[in-house]
Amino acid sequence: MIDLVQLRRDPETVKKSLARRGVSATTLDELISADVTHRSLMLVAENLRAQIKDLSRQVGEARRSKDSATADELALRSRELGDDERRAHETAEAAGIDVRNLLLDLPNLPSPDAPEGRDETHNVELRQWWPGMDDGQPFPSFGEHQRVAHWDSAKELGILDLETGAKLAGSMFPLYRGDGSRLIRALGAFALNAHADEYEEIRPPTFALTETMTSTGHLPKNSIEMYAIERDDLWAIPTAEVPLTSMLRGEIIDEQRLPIKMTALTACFRREAGAAGRDTRGVLRVHEFDKVELFAYCTPEQAQACFDDVLARAEGLLRALGLAYRVLDLCCGDLGTSAKRTFDLEVFSPGVDRWLEVSSVSWFGDFQARRANVRYRSSGAAPTLVHTVNGSALAWSRIWIAIIENYRNQDGSITIPSVLRPFFNGRELLRAQN
């Protein structure tokens, strides 16, 4: 959540910053008013508590001087004030909950470097890369055999069974078979191995408590996009970012430990409630997919280097897989709730003739840490909120699409990218399965 102290101290700057994300000044005025009310109510409760404490002192003095009548009168007054204090505290607490709820609905302040814009049409393309580009070769011209959509070519090969997936769990829950399943597994292992030099591998739960989901900013705003198990106060995670962000929730970290870098391969679940009828063919948009996430706790000074490292690793995997991609700098209107700055990576898939998002690399500032109460301590200094950085490296369902379409041969077989062949016992091709 945003810094309430900053809003109190400099409301106009906060208003101007959030206006870039479409947040009205009226919304912030409502929060400012609620905060004033909460603090005034807290003051009333604290004054009553101070009076009760003083009366208790006077009762003690009266009893020591054996003035029972005065002691009884003061004790009665103390009890009456105690009832008032409890009511005042409950009222102040309710007002505090109102303030917190208003804060939880606000997005992060965007970085001054984030491009202006209302939606994805205003995102800024920073660069492209494709195999051979460094040697002066032009963007690939794809053959007709590569311009076959993955849902057709994968069905021919017997590696994608959408009908059985729908039979088991409903639409948009894919079922991969044989080499299709093995390709997903190979991609996950390939990425985890690539990140093992600096990132601790974590295998977190795929379900999270409401408090855990709230820490990242996924709740309460995006609840419609999540799968909930209400009876147990659990949510299926939409990304490993959720459990990794809360790994040190409520803790104070020694600065010498930072940055702390972690990676996790998990299933991810998204209802995609707002996407009915859009991109629902094949595995363009699915409710469940595997993804490798990179995450770092860091100091503000380390944040840029951590961001650059996650981005470089995601790009490095795409280059190793030989897939053409582009990097987008997301405009303020397209940023996720918690992000200050986000770069998206998109691969080109000729079968569907479009760019497909496969990674988002984000810097959150202290927005998530304030929710999760994760701080670090420098020598002799007061604890300070950490910054968090995360990114996908990578999300596999669309990488799977890109491989099936980019590497399709004229006979319908798929050439396995060389970096994945060790996971196929050295095989070079995926062929139709009997």
pLDDT tens-digit readout, 185-204: 999 999 999 999 999 999 99
Model confidence at 433, pLDDT cuts 50, 70, 90, reads confident
- Band the pLDDT of 274: cuts 50, 70, 90: low
Which residues, including other chains, have CB under 8 Å from residue 24's CB and lie 6 or more apart? none
**pLDDT digits 0-9 by tens, 141-165:** 999 999 999 999 999 999 999 999 9
The chain-wide mean pLDDT, for the chain, equals 96
The mean pLDDT of 123-141, rounded to a whole number, is 97
What does the alpha-carbon distance between residue 234 and residue 210 come to, in Å, rounded to a whole number? 6
Question: Residues 334, 298: one domain?
Answer: yes
pLDDT of residue 279: 76
State both tokens at 399.
Answer: 């990488």
Whether 110 maps to a domain, the answer reads no
How many CA atoms within 13 Å lie on the side-chain side of 298?
A: 22
User: What length does the chain have?
Assistant: 434
Q: Kindly tell me if the per-residue pLDDT of 221 is higher than 80.
A: yes
Residues 57 and 189 in one domain: no
Q: What is the mean pLDDT of residues 331-344?
A: 98
pLDDT band at 277; cut points 50, 70, 90: low
Same domain, 185 and 264: yes
**Is residue 416 one of the residues assigned to a domain?**
yes
pLDDT digits (tens, 9 = 90+) for 13-28: 999 999 999 999 999 9
In the predicted structure, residue 84 carries a pLDDT above the cut 90: yes
pLDDT for 90 beyond 60 = yes
Say what the pLDDT of residue 16 is.
Answer: 98
How many domains is the chain partitioned into structurally? 2
Upstream peptide bond of 394 is cis (omega within 30 degrees of 0): yes
Assess whether 100 and 165 both reside in one domain. no
Domain check: are 285 and 420 in the same one?
A: yes
Q: What is the CATH number of the domain that holds 34?
A: 1.10.287.40
Residue pair 7/14 in contact by the 8 Å Cβ criterion: yes
User: Do 222 and 259 have their domain in common?
Assistant: yes
SS3 321: coil
What region does 380 belong to: left with phi over 0, alpha with psi -120 to 50, or beta? left
**What is the per-residue pLDDT across 395-418, written as a single tens digit (0 to 9) for each?**
999 999 999 999 999 999 999 999
Residue 272 confidence (pLDDT): 82
CB contact at 8 A, 350 and 93: no
- Residues forming a β-bridge with 414: 408, 430
CB 74 within 8 A of CB 62: yes
Q: Is 120 left (phi over 0), alpha (psi -120 to 50) or beta?
A: alpha
Question: 85 near 52, Cβ under 8 Å?
Answer: yes
Q: For residue 280, name the pLDDT band (cuts at 50, 70, 90).
A: confident
| Domain end (from 104, 139, 156) | 104
Lowest mean pLDDT among 39-48, 243-252, 268-277: 268-277
Whether 327 and 423 share a structural domain = yes
Same domain, yes or no: 178 and 90: no
Q: Show the domain range for 330.
A: 120-430
Closest CA to 102 of 8, 43, 33, 42: 33
Nearest to 206 by CA among 285, 288, 272, 104: 288
Tell which of 104, 138, 158 closes a domain. 104
Would the pLDDT of 95 be above 90? yes
* Selection from 170, 185, 163 nearest residue 227 by Cα: 170
Maximum Cα interatomic distance, the chain, rounded to a whole number of Å:
105
Nearest Cα residue to 325 out of 156, 128, 180: 128
Minimal CA–CA distance to 293: which of 381, 164, 388?
388
Residue 278 has pLDDT above 90, yes or no: no
Residue 275 has pLDDT above 60, yes or no: no
Which whole number is the average pLDDT over 238-265?
Answer: 98
C-beta of residue 2 within 8 angstroms of C-beta of residue 103: yes
What pLDDT was estimated at residue 434? 65
Please check whether residue 240 is in contact with residue 204, taking contact to mean a CB–CB distance below 8 angstroms. Answer: yes
pLDDT higher than threshold 80 for residue 361: yes
Q: Tell whether 109 is covered by a domain.
A: no
Percent of the chain whose predicted confidence (pLDDT) is above 90: 94
Tell me if 272 sits within 8 A of 287, measured CB to CB.
Answer: yes
